[in-house]
C-alpha cells in the first residue's frame, strides 16, 4: 500500500498564488490555448512564460555585454530530427538585437564546397566582434547524420573525428566562446512529433527524406551519437545534453545553460 501511494500522481492543489496567476490575460489565454481545458497545464504554461521572460532579459544583458566588449559567441545545437532545436533557437533570439546575432542552418554543400576543407564553410560564417551566432546543426553533421545516411565516406568520417577536437581548440584559443547543446528526445516522442508535422499543413514543409528514415535508422543514429560524445565531450569543449521530450522545459534549460556557460557581467545595464 505504501509503495502504491508513492507511485500515485501528486494531487494538484490550486493555491492563492496560482489563482492570481491564472486571473490575468496571460492566464486566461493559457487556459484557452488547448482543449480539453486544463487548469494545471495552463498554470505550468504561465510559469514557463514568466520564467522565459526573466531569462530573455538576461539574454539581452548578455548580448549588451558581448557588444560592449567585442565578444564572439557560437552556440551550436545538435539532436535528432524534431528534437526542438529550431523552437529553442527562436525563443533565444526573439528578444535580442537582430543586428548583432545570426542564425545559421547551412544547406547541402555545393560542388565547390565539397572540394574544400570540411570545416571551411562553417568558418566563413563565424561571428564578428559583438556577434552571437546560433547554429541549427553544425559541423557535427559529419559525426552522425552523414555516416548514418551514407552522405560521406568512412574515410571522410574518420578524418573528421580526428580533426574536430583540434578544430574546436583553435576556435577557443582564438577567443571565440563555444557552447555545444544536444537536445535529446525519445523514439516515441520523435514519432509523435513527425505525425504532428505531417498532419499540419503549416508544418509539412519541415518533413524531409532524411526525417522519413529517422525512425528506421534510430539505432544507427544512437551508435554514432555515442561515438560522437565519447570522442568530443572534452573538458575544454563539453556537451550539454538537454532532455527535450517536453519542449517548454527544454527551452528553459537551453537558455539557463547558455547564461551559465558565458561569464558575462550580470551588472551590465540594458
Among 4-18, 48-62, 98-112, 134-148, name the one with the lowest average pLDDT. Answer: 4-18
Alpha carbon 131 to its chain centroid, in Å, reads 18
* Section 138-166 average pLDDT: 98
pLDDT digits (tens, 9 = 90+) for 25-43: 666 467 656 667 566 777 7
All structural domains of the chain with their residue ranges: 70-261
CB atoms within 10 A of CB 77: 26
Mean pLDDT of the chain: 92
Regarding predicted confidence, which is higher, 11 or 177? 177
What residues contact 45, with CB distance under 8 A and at least 6 apart? 30, 33, 248
* Section 72-86 average pLDDT: 98
Q: Which CATH superfamily is domain 70-261 in?
A: P-loop containing nucleotide triphosphate hydrolases (3.40.50.300)
Which pLDDT does position 21 carry in this prediction?
Answer: 64
pLDDT digits (tens, 9 = 90+) for 95-150: 999 999 999 999 999 999 999 999 999 999 999 999 999 999 999 999 999 999 99
Regarding predicted confidence, which is higher, 112 or 18? 112
Amino acid at each position: 500500500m505504501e509503495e502504491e501511494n508513492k507511485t500515485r500522481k501528486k494531487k494538484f492543489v490550486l493555491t492563492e498564488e496560482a489563482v492570481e496567476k491564472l486571473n490575468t490575460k496571460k492566464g486566461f489565454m493559457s487556459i484557452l490555448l488547448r482543449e480539453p481545458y486544463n487548469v494545471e497545464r495552463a498554470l505550468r504554461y504561465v510559469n514557463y512564460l514568466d520564467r522565459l521572460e526573466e531569462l530573455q532579459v538576461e539574454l539581452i544583458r548578455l548580448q549588451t555585454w558581448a557588444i560592449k566588449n567585442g565578444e564572439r559567441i557560437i552556440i551550436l545545437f545538435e539532436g535528432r530530427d524534431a528534437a526542438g532545436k529550431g523552437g529553442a533557437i527562436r525563443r533565444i533570439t526573439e528578444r535580442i538585437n537582430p543586428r548583432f546575432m545570426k542564425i545559421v542552418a547551412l544547406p547541402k554543400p555545393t560542388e565547390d564546397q565539397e572540394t574544400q576543407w570540411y570545416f571551411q564553410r562553417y568558418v566563413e560564417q563565424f561571428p564578428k566582434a559583438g556577434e552571437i551566432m546560433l547554429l541549427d546543426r553544425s559541423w557535427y553533421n559529419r559525426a552522425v547524420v552523414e555516416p548514418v545516411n551514407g552522405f560521406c565516406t568512412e574515410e571522410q568520417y574518420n578524418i573528421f573525428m580526428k580533426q574536430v577536437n583540434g578544430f574546436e581548440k583553435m576556435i577557443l584559443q582564438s577567443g571565440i566562446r563555444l557552447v555545444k547543446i544536444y537536445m535529446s528526445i525519445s523514439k516515441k516522442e520523435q514519432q509523435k512529433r513527425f505525425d504532428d508535422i505531417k498532419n499540419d499543413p503549416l508544418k509539412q514543409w519541415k518533413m524531409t527524406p532524411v526525417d522519413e528514415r529517422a525512425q528506421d535508422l534510430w539505432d544507427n543514429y544512437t551508435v554514432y551519437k555515442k561515438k560522437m560524445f565519447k570522442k568530443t565531450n572534452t573538458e575544454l569543449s563539453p556537451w550539454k545534453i538537454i532532455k527535450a521530450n517536453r519542449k517548454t522545459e527544454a527551452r528553459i534549460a537551453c537558455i539557463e545553460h547558455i547564461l551559465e556557460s558565458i561569464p558575462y557581467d550580470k551588472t551590465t545595464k540594458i
